[in-house]
Amino acid sequence: MKKYIYLFLASIAIISLSSCEEDSTKALDTSFASFVSNSMDIGVEAGSETSAEVKIYTTNITGSDRIIPVMVVAESTNAEAGAYTVPSTVTIPGGSNVGSLNIDIKDVGLSEDKVLVLRLQSTDDISTGEALTIGLSQLCPNNGIKLKISLSFDDWPEEAAWRILDSSGSTVLASADPFNYGGYAGASEPVSIKECLSSGTYTIEIYDQYGDGGTSYNITANGILVWSLEGDAYEGSTSGTFTI
C-alpha cells in the first residue's frame, strides 16, 4: 500500500511541476507593447501639413507579424478631426520588436495649440501601456523656433522662479513680470509655456526661494528636447545654456 501511495504522490509532483513549467512558458510568451514615450509635440506651418513617425516597442520577438489596434481617445482629444489622420492599426513585423506609426497633421484649427491622444488597444496576445499625448501647434512664422518650457512642481510651487536670457543678456521669457517669486502660487498641476524665439543660444536661470529645489524643467524647441533639469539636481539656484 505504501508503494502505491508513494507512486501517487510522485505523480502529483510531476504533474504540478509540468503545470508550473507551462505557466512559466506562457509568462515568457506574454507580449507587452508601448509607445516609446507618453508625450511628444508636432508642429506644422500655417496653412500646410506634415507627417511624423511614432515608434512602438514590444517586450518580445515573434516569427510572424503582429497587428495592434490604435485608437484616438476622444474624451482627451481636443484637436479637430480634420487636423489629423491616424492609421487604425500598427504592425510589428515578424522577427522584430519595433513598429512604426505614421501620423499626418494638417493646420486645421491650430491657431491655438491642441492635443491628440492615442492609445494602443490590448488584444488576447498583447497587453499595452500608457496613452500617447501629442501636442499639435502651428510653427512660428519667419523661421522662428517654438520654445516650450514645461514645469513640474513639488508641494511649494510658489517658490519657483526662472527666466531665459538671450546672448545680449536681455530677458526674453520669465515666470513673472516683474521678475520675482510667487508666479505659480496655488498651482496644482504641471505648467507649460510656449513662445516663438529666434534661433540662437540662450541662458536659463533657475531659482528656488527656500533653497531646496524641487521644480523640474524641460525645454523643447519645435518638439525636440534641448535642456532639462530634475528637481533634486539643484538647491537655491542654477543655470544652463541651450541652442535652438
Determine contact, residues 102/94, Cβ cutoff 8 Å.
no
Q: Is 75 helix (H, G, I), strand (E, B) or coil?
A: helix
Q: What is the pLDDT along the chain (244 residues), one digit of tens a residue?
A: 444 444 433 444 444 444 444 444 444 456 999 999 999 999 999 899 999 999 999 999 999 999 999 999 999 999 999 999 999 999 999 999 999 999 999 999 998 899 999 999 999 989 999 999 999 999 998 889 999 999 999 999 999 999 999 999 999 999 999 999 999 999 999 999 999 999 999 999 999 999 999 999 999 998 889 999 999 999 999 999 999 9
Preceding omega of 178 cis (within 30 degrees of 0): yes
Q: Is 35 helix (H, G, I), strand (E, B) or coil?
A: strand
Determine contact, residues 60/94, Cβ cutoff 8 Å.
no
Q: Which three cell numbers stand for residue 65?
A: 507579424
Q: Which three cell numbers stand for residue 164?
A: 531665459
Closest by CA to 213, choosing from 228, 226, 227, 230, is 230
All structural domains of the chain, each given as residue ranges with its CATH number in brackets, are 32-138 (2.60.40.1740), 145-243 (2.60.40)
Position 7 scores a pLDDT of 40
Position 23 scores a pLDDT of 45
